[in-house]
Amino acid sequence: MNHVNTTTGRYTGRCLDLPIKRLRYSAGWYDTFYRSGGNLLILSLIFALSTLPISSAIGQAANLDQVRNGKYDNPVSPGNFQNGNLGFQNAHFIEGYSVPYRAVMTGLTPGVPVSLEIGFDIKHSGKHALDYITSYDRLEPHIFFGHDPETIDPTVGTGVVGGAVYADIPPPIVNKNVTIGVITKSQPLSSYNDLSADEKKMALWGGNFAASNAIVYSSGGNLDVAQSQAIIVVSFTPTASTAVLAWGGHIASRLDWGDPITGPNSAGGISGSPYHMRLLDWNLNNLGNQDRSLKADAVFAPPLECQVTPLVQNHCEGGNATITAAVAEGTGAGPFTYELKKGSTMDATIQTIGPTALRIVEFQLNNVALADAGRYYVVITDNFGTTCHDFGDLNVFRDPSVSVAAQNVCSGGSATFRANITNLQAGVSYSIKWHEFNAAGTPLGAGTAGTIQSDAMGYYSTFTVNNATATTRYGAVVIDDEGMSCNGQGYNTLTVYDDPAISVGAQNACKGGSVIFRADITNLQAGINYTIRWHEFNAAGTPLGAGTAGTIQSDAIGYYSTYTVNNISANAYYGAVVVDSDGKGCDGQGYNTLTAYDDPTVTVGAEAECEDGSATFRADLANLVPGYTYSISWHEFNAAGTPLGAGTAGTIQSDATGYYSTFTVNNITSNGYYGAVIADTGGKGCDGQGYNSLTVMPCSKIELEKLTDGLVDPSMLWSFTISEGDLEAPVTESVLNDADGILFDGLVLSRYETYKICETNVGSGFNVVIQYYDSEGVLQDVPWFDPDVVNGGGDFNQGEAMGNYCFYIGAGTDLELPANTADATEPIRLRIRINNIPPPGGDARTPGYWKNWNSCTQGNQYNNVMEARANGGDKADFWLLDDHLPHILWQTASARYEITSCQEAVLILDERQVTGKNQKLASDAAYKLAKHLLTYQLNKKSGTYECASAAAAAVEAEGLLASLNFRGTLSSYLSNKGKGGGGAQYARALELAKTLDAYNNNLPCGAGARTIADKESAPASLDSKLRISTYPNPFRGATTLEFSSPVKQGVCCRYIPWMAK
């Protein structure tokens, strides 16, 4: 819907297609267009009578209707199609509208083609009337009448139903060039072409247009004559008996044909009825002439259209404003009078231009002030007194205000100026340029375009000056982009300072140490904030990495900063970079060398020394830096190389080989590690250490001098074993073939250990004297003890003839081992002397010997003896029990007890019954006496020494056993248990057994007998190998015979003279 403001006449709907789009129309133009000075213009009214449709065929007729849409202030909608003519009282149109027409055709025969000829005046009275055909509904813009356009329905009252079909209306075929102003157009073709496609279609109900040439011009008329008609032919085929054809006649407009001062070239400027539409003929019969006319008074000229530009203009104080007023081409009748007024009442006229034929004029308002701001109207009056007015607003602003703060920066730095801008007007575009200014405040050069932005503080612009070199001035110039003469400027000083200067001293230290660099800083400016970062530098002086933030301090010298480099590893460069934290470009740097020396090296040699001795270590020192001072301390170290304790201060000395230090460890008792730690005393981190092992060596020595009856006898088999202490296994040595009789003289022992020395398997008849030389060289007796069996040898405690003499030496004993030094050529030794004094007779054997050396105890002794005899001589130094069987234990005139088997003899020697389960009867005195008597008798058969007391005891023993009829078969002969047990015979039997036992153990003849326990343990198994160190040991008056045996080649055996008897 279109609207009009009837007070101002401002058009607010769709604009006409005119060169100037925003138009103003005169108020009440439809009343005054044909009035002048209040007098009504008399128009000639020509009425065309309707011609009744004529048909030669009954029922076929065609009727031409045109729309009456009512007077302009009393519209009729939908429009009323009727045969009558149109005038001011029943129709209202504007040049450029189309008059709606229809032809209602009845009595048609469906399928029979119809060709209808239509004529219309394109010229009338020398003016342009209906210049071409359009669609039937073209009544817009209608806003000028103050109401909506009327509805046009060609089917109203026809009874036709259904939709229409359409055919394109061809363009006019006769055209003429028309120049309006400076624009020339071919008319009416240009006007036709400005229409939309829908505005160039003819509508048909009740039929179909011909497939081709549905609408053609049969005559285009003549535009060069005063009166001319154009003719079109419409062809269609009816589909019903009634068909309706609808179209429009375009009312020629002065906007297309011109509006000179002499009057418009359109027919609206004449009197009468210049607008005619006719049905001329058709192909069905004689149609007759139907003419419909439109009076000129129903057609309004295009309104006086005016425009003031700009609608709004802005200027700053002192600017010049131009107000332009324009009358649209084809509207109004010149000459025109233009009046410039201010304010909505439009009372006072400021300026007047005209009367003038000009359709565009300009009013100038120069050097405007704030008071000039407001709304300005231009009232335009044409030659007919028609007025049109429009307005434009003038805003007058203050000039922009530009405030720029001073900046300071260091040489080569960057400074960013900010211009705070006020008095900028909303909706106005501004531009800004930054300049260097001279001292007088004049901007220099073309400047650099900036950007106006806004933040919470207001409008602003920034500008950065890079690589500043000298103090100067910078500022901004703001101007409007709309020619409003709005401008302002501001500037301030850029102060350029010298960069900070940094001086850093060189440093040196050892690798792994720490140094502190100091940077002295000058040229720091008051009011500027600075930061400092320390960096490693390359040789070219370029700082490396992100660096480490430092602190700027001050002292009596000035500003400075320090930085510590820890754990130095190599030569390097270190320095500081100072920059201002305010972005002033104030920066400076300085650096110097860090010399990293190698740490001192400490080389300590290993030492080995005897127990309780002294060791002196030497540390050779290298990589000492000239000018540095050092201290050295000696420490004991752990195995991981860590010095222990506070250490002992040492002294650094020098000789031909270099720097060194020594340290002595006294009273060595254990292995360990010793070394030196060196460090510089100037805090340069120069330190080093070295250590090595101290090995404590056992250096104690002994020598055991073995004598036989006071003399060294290399033929003897005396055997000694030293064990325990730190010895992994016992060490055994013998004097056999040892010319000096000195044993263990090559053995090295520890003073801190306790050792056991034993002479093993000494015959019970020997007197063993053990002595040592004290510190004065005087022999002192050594107490001994007889342990249980040692290394499979004999055991006095088991009642055997062989035993061991043992004693301890070393730590915790009276025989301490002497201390020595590692370099001693003649070490001090513990000297021991052991003298074995043989028994007077000797050569006896114990019961254990005879129990083992036989063929029935399943030992190796028998086989070894037999093999030895086969390889050597008769008996081969040894007697076997079997050699003396059968054997008579006792005999009387009437009886005797003869032992015939080895097994029976062994049972008697083991104090067992020879029958039954061979019960052990050691507590029976008869069995014990029988054991020692049989042993004595076997010894005598083997040629042992004579002893009267033993011989007498043997005779009595035989008689006692004979009285008991002892045959080893009873479980009790002389028991100490039960009634009568332990009587005189029992006691006597034991005494005799003791005497015989003393003999059998080679005790001196007549010596006191040993106490024999009631229960003696069975002897340990004898050595299974044939060795000269085994029983009997020792022998007197023997020679040496060497022979081989399966056990060992070259075994030395003893040849006993009595064995050859």
SS3 labels along 258-308: CCCCCCCCEHHHCCCCCEEEEEEEECCCCCCCEEEEECHHHEECCCCEEEE
Q: Note whether 305-397 and 401-497 share their fold.
A: yes
pLDDT of residue 873: 39
CATH of domain 305-397: 2.60.40.10
For residues 505 and 557, give the distance between their C-alpha atoms in angstroms, rounded to a whole number.
15
pLDDT of residue 792: 57
Would you call the peptide bond into 141 cis, given omega within 30 degrees of 0 as the criterion? yes
For residues 483 and 320, give the distance between their C-alpha atoms in angstroms, rounded to a whole number.
9
pLDDT of residue 1035: 34
Residue 958 burial by Cβ neighbours in a 10 Å radius (0-12, 13-18, 19+): buried
* Cα 740–Cα 745–Cα 751 angle in degrees, nearest 5: 150
Question: Which amino acid is it at 111?
Answer: G
pLDDT of residue 921: 94
**Which one-letter DSSP state was computed for residue 959?**
H
Would you call the peptide bond into 838 cis, given omega within 30 degrees of 0 as the criterion? no
For residues 362 and 330, give the distance between their C-alpha atoms in angstroms, rounded to a whole number.
20
Per DSSP, helices labelled H in 132-195 are 189-193
The tokens for 977 are: 């248990």
Global pTM exceeds 0.85: no
For residues 923 and 340, give the distance between their C-alpha atoms in angstroms, rounded to a whole number.
169
CA distances to 76, 310, 319, 350, 903 from 325, rounded to whole Å, are 37, 9, 20, 14, 167
The tokens for 757 are: 């020395």
For residues 204 and 104, give the distance between their C-alpha atoms in angstroms, rounded to a whole number.
10
Low-confidence residues of the chain: pLDDT under 70: 1-58, 330, 332-333, 384-385, 763-765, 788-802, 838-843, 858-861, 864-878, 978-981, 1004-1061
**Which one-letter DSSP state was computed for residue 138?**
B
For residues 400 and 656, give the distance between their C-alpha atoms in angstroms, rounded to a whole number.
92
For residues 483 and 670, give the distance between their C-alpha atoms in angstroms, rounded to a whole number.
108
- Taking the CA atoms of the chain, what radius of gyration do you get in angstroms? 78
CATH of domain 601-697: 2.60.40.10
CA distances to 467, 530, 546, 558 from 584, rounded to whole Å, are 10, 10, 20, 22
CATH of domain 501-597: 2.60.40.10
Domain boundaries, the chain: 34-300, 305-397, 401-497, 501-597, 601-697, 708-825, 847-1025
- CA–centroid distance for 761 within its chain: 83
Number of DSSP helices (H) and strands (E) in the chain, helices first: 9, 70
* Cα 54–Cα 56–Cα 58 angle in degrees, nearest 5: 95
Is residue 605 within 8 Å of residue 659, measured between CB atoms? no
Q: What residue ranges in 382-505 does DSSP mark as E strands?
A: 387-397, 401-404, 407-410, 415-422, 430-437, 443-449, 453-455, 458-465, 472-480, 487-497, 501-504
Any idea of the CA torsion for 70, 76, 82, 84, to the nearest 10 degrees?
-10
Q: How far apart are the first and last CA of the chain?
A: 172
pLDDT of residue 980: 57
Pairing of strands 472-480, 430-437: antiparallel
Residue 745 burial by Cβ neighbours in a 10 Å radius (0-12, 13-18, 19+): middle
**Which one-letter DSSP state was computed for residue 1026?**
-
For residues 986 and 70, give the distance between their C-alpha atoms in angstroms, rounded to a whole number.
184
CATH of domain 401-497: 2.60.40.10
pLDDT of residue 323: 93
